[in-house]
Chain A
Amino acid sequence: DTEVTQTPKHLVMGMTNKKSLKCEQHMGHRAMYWYKQKAKKPPELMFVYSYEKLSINESVPSRFSPECPNSSLLNLHLHALQPEDSALYLCASSQDYQGAGYEQYFGPGTRLTVT
């Protein structure tokens, strides 16, 4: 079973709101990822957690705050977003992070609109 779940599917928020995106996987994977995807563009890596520790932060603005409560869960806390942050936010997981051969599986995504 290669399933990654994400909630909510859609989110509309104002620029002063605080919201969170959630991601869960039960494949025993030890690496989890957040990507941002704009229309007609490839996914853009934001954060990587490996063994529940933040491994990569791709210079993402501080209004995006990731959290990995345990090996199955990944959250993305959102605060004071801008309209240009509207995008599809994708969570992915893989068996491990470093080394070859680790396939990443994506969740269905959260469509975020910032008004």
Chain B
Amino acid sequence: QKEVEQNSGPLSVPEGAIASLNCTYSDRVSQSFFWYRQYSGKSPELIMSIYSNGDKEDGRFTAQLNKASQYVSLLIRDSQPSDSATYLCAVKGRNTDKLIFGTGTRLQVFP
């Protein structure tokens, strides 16, 4: 079992829709969760971090964490073509200080 799993996609959504990106992790004692956006040929950009169960909102982005289900998600409201990118989920566990990345989900937002 991979430590952090994401659907590779592509996830295709129309402009203006809600894009839902999902991530599961295997280390039950993981503490910190991050979402990075990476445009093709560019470096990862941190867009959200979440540490407690529940929702965290920042503009059009909402991160959701459910530690009991070992599940973290990212919702993008009013999706724009400029949101088209690969979204990387990263998890930091209590027993390791390293960031463990998922393989990323490619999001395509079409006009």
Contact between A101 and B51, CB atoms less than 8 A apart: yes
Complex CA gap A101/B46 in Å reads 13
In the complex, identify which listed stretch (A13-21, A62-70, A77-85, A92-100) lies at the interface while the others stay far away: A92-100
**Chain A residues with CB below 8 A from B34, complex form:** 103-104
Contact B45 A106 (CB under 8 A): yes
A41-B103 Cα distance, complex, nearest whole Å: 6
The A interface is mostly helix, strand or loop, or mixed, namely loop
A: contact size bracket: 20 to 34
In whole Å, how far is B46's beta carbon from the nearest beta carbon of chain A?
6
Q: Does B101 contact A (CB under 8 A)?
A: yes
Pair B98/A56 contact, Cβ less than 8 Å? yes
Q: A100-B32, A101-B51, A103-B34 are in contact. Are A108 and B101 (CB under 8 A)?
A: no
Q: Which residues of B contact A108 (CB under 8 A)?
A: 42-43
Is the pair B92, A42 in contact by a Cβ cutoff of 8 Å?
no
For A43, list chain B residues within 8 Å (CB): 44, 88, 101
The reply to whether A42 and B101 contact each other, CB–CB distance below 8 Å, is yes
Identify the B interface with A (CB < 8 A): 31-32, 34, 36, 42-46, 49, 51, 88, 92, 94, 97-99, 101-104
Residues of A that sit less than 8 Å from B by CB: 2, 41-43, 45, 48, 56, 88, 90, 97-109
Q: Which 3 A-B residue pairs are closest in the complex by CB-CB distance?
A: A42-B101, A100-B31, A106-B43
